[in-house]
Structure 1
Amino acid sequence: MPPDPGFPIADIAAFLLCVALATAIQNVTGFAFGLVLLGLSASLHIASVSDAANAAMVLTLVNAAVSFSGGRARPPWRLMRPALLGSAAGVAIGVLSLAWLSSNAVVYLRALLGITIIACAAALLWHSKPLHQLSKPAAFVRTGFLSGLLGGLFSSSGPPLVYHMYRQPLSHELVRQALLLAFAFNACLRLVFVIPAGQMSAHSMVLAACAIPVVFGITRWQLGRPIALPQALLKKMAAALLVLSGLGLLVSALQAIV
């Protein structure tokens, strides 16, 4: 798909660099693609938040499709089924809630979410040892619902699931695959609401189309050269990314309030 004449080539090139970095981090930690991409796009003023978010949904699906293709890994459906069921309900309620929540309520909820995410990051570091046994399905349902609700309201579904999964007594690779499956599922759900509502702009489609080869190439390359990092370091990386996510939400809310 050729670049949109109304969209500078330099902006598209900068966006592709942001996508490359976001993809590399996503393939190591299992999350943060949208966080990194939206944060960089906004700070560099190369795309609106809505366009970057819509493009990120499409690219998340591409990343998941490449990661699970070729028999390299199988999506952990059995492990994540309770979380996905909860997430489906949460996304629907979150998206529909935006229609009747006042703008002030949304702003204060965003601020509260930012504070909560930072607290979760601190708890993740404080409780450095994983749980002794896998959480019960009901805990996965609750976490999935909260994740979907935040995704529907603020397009920020990651933190609850990241906190929950990084505390489970599971290998990092399984945690990464589980998060990848969950976020791809949430991206599908949001696209179901966004596309019929006409919220998928031409710019977001151009950005996604241009970035698909970048996501495909980097993900394939990293699958053949996996980076083995210590579990403690990965947990610290996850906590740091959660802090960035929480601060981003908190700062944007405070700016709106002021």
Structure 2
Amino acid sequence: MPEVGWSALLAFWGLSALGAWSQTLTGFALGLIVMSGTTLFGLLPVPVTAQIISILVLLNGAMVLWRDHHHADRKAVIAAVIGATPMIALGYWLLHWMVGSALEWLRLILGVFIAVAALQLVHRPQPWEARSPTPAFGVAGATGGIMGGLFATSGPPLIWLLYRQPLTLDTIRVTLVVYFVITQAFRLVLTAADRSFDRLTAIALAGALLAVAVGTWAARRFPPRVSPLAIRRAALVLLFLSGVGLIGTASVALARG
């Protein structure tokens, strides 16, 4: 088990609170914020971080959905989950293969994924006049599934598609939360079968659960006096910078190697 100091754990817990706060307000970003910040600053190993994110998403989802679950678009969720499930399994297998032999390539892939996701989501696109056919949501789920298995962040393709639908913001937000809860629960089943839960994961998770509970509660109890779009854009600017930082550090390491 790698040694991790209290400063790294405190920073990780802070990222968890920030991610929960953002996801409660916008419907996404918990996994992206926690994974990008943790990987950029080397706080925890990628497999440990991804495993914890899965559990944190479940807690945040439970707190959000107990009151708002009726807003979800069931057809979109079902199609996206069907598309994502086999690809999450593939991504999880790739995670164990790449961490041992190509850690810097893994870091580079994550940086590109985060930077591109942030760029495409900074501006809320104009909704289309007609709803996309149901299979399109399955394709979006499958596209993000591999990254969901690798980094527990499978949302950007589905986020991109949902924000182009003629749906209310509440429907988009809750549909995303339901999708994240189901896909992360499936990823947890994979990690349980692998028996990869260790003492470091338990310690980091304990504090992160409290941080997520506080972040979720704060977002619902004291929403900021700015538009959700402004919050979303600020979070995505930070994500983009994190992605660029990951690309830079990985590129330097690969060039030296």
What is the TM-score when the length of structure 2 is the normalising length? 0.78
Aligned to 1:54: 51
Paired residue for 1:199, among 183, 196, 200? 196
Aligned to 2:177: 180
Q: How many residues align?
A: 251
C-alpha distance in structure 2 between counterparts of 1:196 and 1:177, whole Å: 29
Letter in structure 2 aligned against 1:196: A
Pair 1:201–1:223, CA change in 2 (3 A): same
Aligned to 2:70: 74
Query: 1:27-62 CA deviation, whole Å, 9 max, x = no partner?
Result: 222222122223333445443333222222111111
Aligned to 2:147: 150
Structure 2 residue runs of 5 or longer lacking an equivalent are none
Matched, 1:19 2:19: no
C-alpha distance in structure 1 between counterparts of 2:42 and 2:121, whole Å: 32
Structure 1 residue runs of 5 or longer lacking an equivalent are 1-5
Query: 1:162-219 CA deviation, whole Å, 9 max, x = no partner?
Result: 2222222222222221221222222112111112212222211221122222322331
- Offset at 1:148? 1.0
Matched, 1:254 2:251: yes
Worse overlay, 83-92 or 32-41: 32-41
C-alpha distance in structure 2 between counterparts of 1:11 and 1:154, whole Å: 19
Worse overlay, 164-173 or 245-254: 245-254
- Decide whether the 8 Å contact of 1:114 with 1:246 is kept in 2: yes
- Offset at 1:65? 0.8
C-alpha distance in structure 2 between counterparts of 1:46 and 1:120, whole Å: 22
Residue pairs, 1:1-258, within 5 angstroms: 8-69=5-66, 71-74=67-70, 76=72, 77-97=74-94, 103=101, 107=105, 115=112, 118-119=115-116, 121-124=118-121, 128-227=125-224, 229-230=226-227, 232-233=229-230, 236-237=233-234, 239-240=236-237, 243-244=240-241, 246-247=243-244, 250-251=247-248, 253-255=250-252, 257-258=254-255
C-alpha distance in structure 2 between counterparts of 1:82 and 1:112, whole Å: 26
- Decide whether the 8 Å contact of 2:53 with 2:152 is kept in 1: no
- Offset at 1:113? 7.2
C-alpha distance in structure 2 between counterparts of 1:238 and 1:14, whole Å: 17
Letter in structure 1 aligned against 2:78: R
Pair 1:112–1:202, CA change in 2 (3 A): closer
Pair 1:68–1:20, CA change in 2 (3 A): same
Worse overlay, 57-66 or 36-45: 36-45
C-alpha distance in structure 1 between counterparts of 2:49 and 2:38, whole Å: 7
Aligned to 1:3: none
- Offset at 1:153? 3.5
C-alpha distance in structure 2 between counterparts of 1:122 and 1:234, whole Å: 15
Letter in structure 2 aligned against 1:17: G
Q: Percent identity?
A: 29
Pair 1:28–1:242, CA change in 2 (3 A): same
- Decide whether the 8 Å contact of 1:94 with 1:153 is kept in 2: yes
- Decide whether the 8 Å contact of 1:64 with 1:181 is kept in 2: yes
Query: 1:3-42 CA deviation, whole Å, 9 max, x = no partner?
Result: xxx7654444333222222221222222221222233334
Letter in structure 2 aligned against 1:52: T
